Amino acid sequence: MGDRKPSELFRYLKSHATALTPEDFILEVWKTRLPSHIRNVMAASSATDIDTILKLAASVHEVSPAKQVSAVSDFTGLVEQIQQLTLQVNALTQDRNRSRSHGSQNQSRGSQNRSATPATARDDFASDWLCFYHRRFKEKATKCRGLCTWPGNDARQQ
């Protein structure tokens, strides 16, 4: 409805309807666009004449128009503030997670053994099936342990 009066809204809807649109249909659409406090009064009314219905809506609107408009504008402002705060919290959470992951990587690197296998070497082969020596030294490995699936092992094991 915006800042229109109920009668202005009805005239606006009627002006945008075609000549074949029944006035009862326009009235029903108009009722759905009214604020809830006006709709509640309209539902309790038994008036059927359009002029009477418009006068009733106008009188209800006069009782509390400013209060309803300010509440809607306050609500809109609150929704925008909540959206902005949500974006800020998400950004801060992502920054915090990034700094934690970088910090934990740096801490774990310091405590790791220098002979640990780089991630790229582990990713090249199925690390669950390769022995330590093949994971670390690949084709240069001279010792092989366990059920290693290194391609050259078939000839060695026979």
Model confidence pLDDT, tens digit, residues 109-124:
555 555 454 555 444 4
Instruction: Please name the amino acid found at residue 118.
Output: P
Asked if residue 150 and residue 124 are part of one domain, the reply reads: yes
Residue 106 included in any domain: yes
pLDDT of residue 122: 46
- Give the pLDDT band (50/70/90) at residue 125: very low
* More confident call, 74 vs 14: 14
Find the domain containing 20 and state its range.
6-63
pLDDT at residue 71 in the model: 53
Q: Is residue 126 part of a domain?
A: yes
> Over 60: is that where the pLDDT of 41 sits?
yes
pLDDT tens for each residue of 55-85: 888 888 888 755 545 555 567 777 888 888 8
Q: Quick check: is 107 in a domain?
A: yes
Residue 1 lies inside a defined structural domain of this protein: no
Q: Is 127 domain-assigned?
A: yes
pLDDT band, very low/low/confident/very high, at 142 (cuts 50, 70, 90): confident
Domain presence at residue 15: yes
Instruction: Tell me if 94 is assigned to some domain.
Output: yes
Please report, for residues 66, 135, 144, 155, the alpha-carbon distance to residue 158 in angstroms, rounded to integers and kept in the order given: 93, 22, 14, 6
Instruction: Inform me whether the pLDDT recorded for 92 exceeds 80.
Output: yes
pLDDT recorded at residue 102? 66
Determine what percent of the chain is predicted with pLDDT higher than 90: 0
Residue owning tokens 């309790």: 44
As for how many domains the chain has, the answer is: 3
